[in-house]
Amino acid sequence: MVFRLFIRFFVSLFIAVFLTACALSVWQAGREEKRLKSEIERRSFDLTEDISQKVRPFLAKGDMQGAEDLIHSVPLTDDFLRVELYDPQGMRLAVSEHENTDLPKVPATIQNTTKDLIREDSWTSRFFSESKNFLHVCAMPVASESGTYVLCLYQNASSVSEEVRKIWMQHFLRLLIQTSVLLVITPLVIYLNVKRPMNRIAEWTKQIRMGQNPDSLPKKHGKIFEPLADEITKMARSLEVARFSAEEEARLRLSMEPVWTAERLKAFARRRLKERPFFVVSNREPYTHIRKGKDIQCQVPASGLVTALEPVLKACGGIWIAQATGDADKETADPQGRIMVPPDEPQYVLKRVWIDKETEMGYYFGFSNEGLWPLCHVAHTRPIFRESDWENYMKANRIFADALLEEMEGTEEPFVWVQDYHFALLPKMIKAKRPDARVAIFWHIPWTNPESFGICPWQRELLEGMLGADIIGFHTQYHCNNFMETVDRVLEARLDYERFTVNREGQTTLVKPFPISIAFNGGDENKASNSPAIDAILKNYGIQTEYIGVGVDRLDYTKGILERFRGVEMFLDKNPEYVGKFTFVELGAPTRTLIPRYQDFMVELLRECDRINARWKIKNWKPILFLEKHHSHEEIFPFYKAAKLCLVTSLHDGMNLVAKEFVSSRNDEQGVLILSQFTGAARELADSLVINPYDIGQTADSIRRAIEMPADEQRARMKRMRRTLREWNVYRWAADVIHDMTEIRPGAFV
């Protein structure tokens, strides 16, 4: 096979080189022949012109003998063979021939051609091939009173054909050398760039087929196999996930454990939804298309909502409706704003909705994130409510409602799942137009107490909008309690605390906790991979350290990042022996940078980081490495794996999926999670070190405890938390919501 490939490759190259060489030879030979002929004609003209000037006086006086003597006396070189003078009647008067007998002779057959030249009225020249010789003749008229005489000069032009022959010989030798080189290089190139990479790909694919877990396929063998390597890598991931799912399903059947997987959710959703489409609405889209120079790149935004919902849509399919935020979103979608995602393996439809900048500023940056966000998080940032923002909030909700209604047209009893505080008005808008729709809204952030929520001037409208849903979901029971108390305080409605439902104007709404989670793909603990070397991770930052801690956050004032930095500082104050040995890495994604409070927070955060580093920094080490950018999951994962601890110090959080992602990543069953008591995750991950993030001393002590925790204790804690994540994963979360949505009947919850 390789030999046949070599023959095809070599023959193709040889033909290409041969044709190219021939074309170049023809071009170069033609150009050189033209140049040499032009040079011969120039020399002939100059000499003929000179002789004609000298013979003209003799012809003018009628001195034919003088003219003949002049012609005979013309000195001829080896190139100039003969000079002839013809009278007006075409009779030759005089001739002068070169005496060198070795030179080519001018044959008599050229005489007829010479007579043709004599008939011309102007200077002419022609080239002739005669036997083995190549000759040139130049004819020039010489005017006198008795008529027009013609002077002819014959020249040896064999040098032209000789030079052309040399050019062809040179190209032939060059072709011979190139062919020899090709014979040597072609097998080597095929081996290095085809056979060896193909052997590597075949071996790598074989390892996957046999259930092994090889490293990623290297791309060092050249760009030619990069697309193939990418596709095989994606196929390998799909096979690995499918194999893991099959093994998990088999294990669950044997152990009778009630663990949900993507396949189980898919089958459950198919049975429950009865092939009806599943509509999800969120502000943030799962994939954005960004222009980078002339290229368009697809990015996944940093968002816990995307992390949670993406696996559900992949499993169930459906339509995800979201705001378009990428500058290349429009040109990558169809005219209706639809695009199949994920790009590598499309499994559901993303419907993009465009909102003008003025509406977005009021709806998203204004009412949602300067009003509702600080209101619900109680993070000591004063909420700002503007009437113009409220109007834009209503307008944006109406735009999304229209887009959703358009997509639902023709679908009976559609299932609609609204996400988060950006769309509190949407459930009521949908129910008003489609009372047959099954509508649920999940509130991803905390719900504060009635007194705090009463700050909002439009609390009644928000509650009425939410109660248009059949189901309202929160992360914790505590948030459900706060919501029920708020409804009881603001609206006239019948509340059933036993079933946790609200009945208002004939619409019954179930209020229930659905603790969100992640797709736990931690794999078999028996296949635990080694943690990456810290030096390898930090080498680009010029830091050498023994231990690292990690924090992964959007740069939001509710995440307790300032408190976290101060906890690291106090840890070093209390434990100076760890100076030079412990570095905390903060992977921070900028967010909502157009809001003044976030701008001020960034300035404060950078100032505090610089202050702490300036105090403690030594050569090749600093206590805090702050990496401010949007990090992909592939970039974050090595830090999770290498970290001795993960710090989650949210001042108030609905759930916090970073904590769960860290636990999921640690299939080595090492590492310690330090978790704020004000997160929903603290109620599930009880084996974390739960802290009050406002207590800086407690944070510092927990860092030391995490670093010095024995490996056996780490393993026991991590194993229990991983078991919790496996059982209470995102598929179970989605299944609970789908189950309750499919149990709804119009106007009531059964």
Residues 206, 60 contacting (CB under 8 angstroms): no
Q: In what order do the strands lie in the sheet with 348-353?
A: 338-341, 348-353, 319-323, 278-281, 415-419, 438-442, 471-474, 507-513, 501-504, 494-496
657 touches 307 (CB < 8 A): yes
602-631: average pLDDT: 96
Interatomic CA distance for residues 528 and 526, integer angstroms:
6
Q: Which long-range contacts (CB under 8 A, 24 or more apart) does 576-580 make?
A: 578/547, 578/704, 578/707, 579/616, 579/618, 579/621, 579/623, 580/545, 580/618, 580/621
For 445, phi then psi, to 5°, come to -105, 170
Q: Identify whether the C-beta of residue 558 lies closer than 8 Å to the C-beta of residue 679.
A: no
Rounded CA-CA distance 541/613 in Å is 14
Say which amino acid occupies 50: D
pLDDT at position 263 is 83
Q: What is the pLDDT of residues 317-330, one digit of tens each?
A: 899 999 999 999 99
Distance CA 387, CA 461 (A): 13
CA distance 551 to 658: 8
Q: Assess whether pLDDT exceeds 80 at residue 747.
A: no
**Residue of 496 and 163 predicted with greater confidence:** 496
Measure the CA–CA gap between 487 and 447, rounded to whole angstroms.
Answer: 12
Q: Report the range of poorest mean pLDDT among 54-58, 122-126, 360-364.
A: 122-126
Structure tokens at 371: 């009003």
Residue 119: what pLDDT?
56
Q: Which of 602, 603, 622, 604 is nearest to 613 (CA)?
A: 622
* Of 450 and 167, the one with more pLDDT: 450
* 62's tokens: 């009628």
Q: What is the pLDDT of residue 328?
A: 94
Q: In this predicted model, what pLDDT tens digit does every residue of 49-88 receive, in sequence order?
A: 888 888 888 888 888 888 888 888 887 776 787 888 888 8
| Contact present, 590 and 628 (Cβ < 8 Å) | yes
Structure tokens at 84: 């002839």
With H, G, I as helix, E, B as strand and everything else as coil, classify residue 167: helix
Pairing of the two strands 624-628 and 582-589: parallel
Q: What is the pLDDT of residue 224?
A: 57
Q: Could you tell me where the beta strands, DSSP code E, fall in 371-482? A: 415-419, 438-442, 471-474
> Is cis: bond before 141, omega within 30 of 0?
no
727's enclosing H/E stretch is helix 711-727
pLDDT (mean) for 91-109: 67
**What pLDDT, in 10s, does the model give residues 385-431?**
999 999 999 999 999 999 999 999 999 999 999 999 999 999 999 99
The sign of the torsion formed by the CA atoms of 5, 7, 8, 13 equals: positive
Distance between CA atoms of 23 and 507, rounded to whole angstroms?
A: 84
- pLDDT > 90: percent of the chain: 54
| Count of C-beta atoms within a 10 Å radius of residue 52 | 20
Provide the pLDDT confidence category of residue 303 given band limits of 50, 70 and 90: confident
Position of tokens 């830090």? 639
- Looking at residue 217, its pLDDT comes to 54
Of the candidates 462, 470, 466, the one whose C-alpha atom is nearest the C-alpha of residue 416 is 470
> Higher pLDDT residue, 235 or 379?
379
Q: What is the pLDDT of residue 254?
A: 44
Domains of the chain: 2-162 (3.30.450.20), 272-513 (3.40.50.2000), 528-728 (3.40.50.2000)
Residue with tokens 């950078």: 606
Kind of pairing between the strands at 438-442 and 494-496: unpaired
What pLDDT was estimated at residue 606? 97
Mean pLDDT for the chain overall: 86
pLDDT in tens, 559-572: 999 999 999 999 99
Q: How many CB atoms lie within 10 A of CB 431?
A: 20
- What pLDDT shows up at residue 222? 46
Question: 675-714 burial by CB neighbour count: b if 16+ within 10 A, else e?
Answer: bbebbbbbbbbebbbbbebeebebbbbbbeebbebeeeeb
Query: In this predicted model, what pLDDT tens digit does every residue of 545-557 receive, in sequence order?
Result: 999 999 999 999 9
Token output for 237: 């991931």
Sort 292 into a burial class: Cβ within 10 Å, 0-12 / 13-18 / 19+: exposed
The per-residue pLDDT for 704 is 98
Q: Judge whether residue 187 has pLDDT over 80.
A: no
Q: What is the mean pLDDT of residues 460-470?
A: 97
Residue 152 confidence (pLDDT): 86
Largest CA distance in the chain: 143
| CA pair distance 92, 149, nearest whole angstrom | 10
**Predicted confidence band at 525 (pLDDT cuts at 50, 70, 90)?**
very low
Backbone φ and ψ of 624, nearest 5°? -130, 125
d(CA 87, CA 91): 5
Higher pLDDT, 194 or 135: 135
Cβ(430)–Cβ(468) below 8 Å: yes
Strands 415-419 and 438-442: parallel
Rounded CA separation 123/185 (Å):
56
pLDDT for the residue numbered 524? 46
106-118: per-residue pLDDT in tens? 655 555 555 555 5
- pLDDT, tens digit, 9 for 90 and up, residues 491-508: 999 999 999 999 998 899
Q: 372 or 125: whose pLDDT is higher?
A: 372
Extract the tokens encoding 22: 């021939």
Asked whether the beta carbons of 153 and 51 are under 8 A apart, the reply is yes
Residue with the two structure tokens 């003597």: 69
Q: Which of 6-10, 168-172, 374-378 has the lowest mean pLDDT?
A: 6-10
Q: Which two tokens stand for residue 234?
A: 């994606």
Of residues 243 and 417, more confidently modeled: 417
Angle between helices 459-466 and 477-490 (to 10 degrees): 120
Q: Which residue has the tokens 């030979």?
A: 29
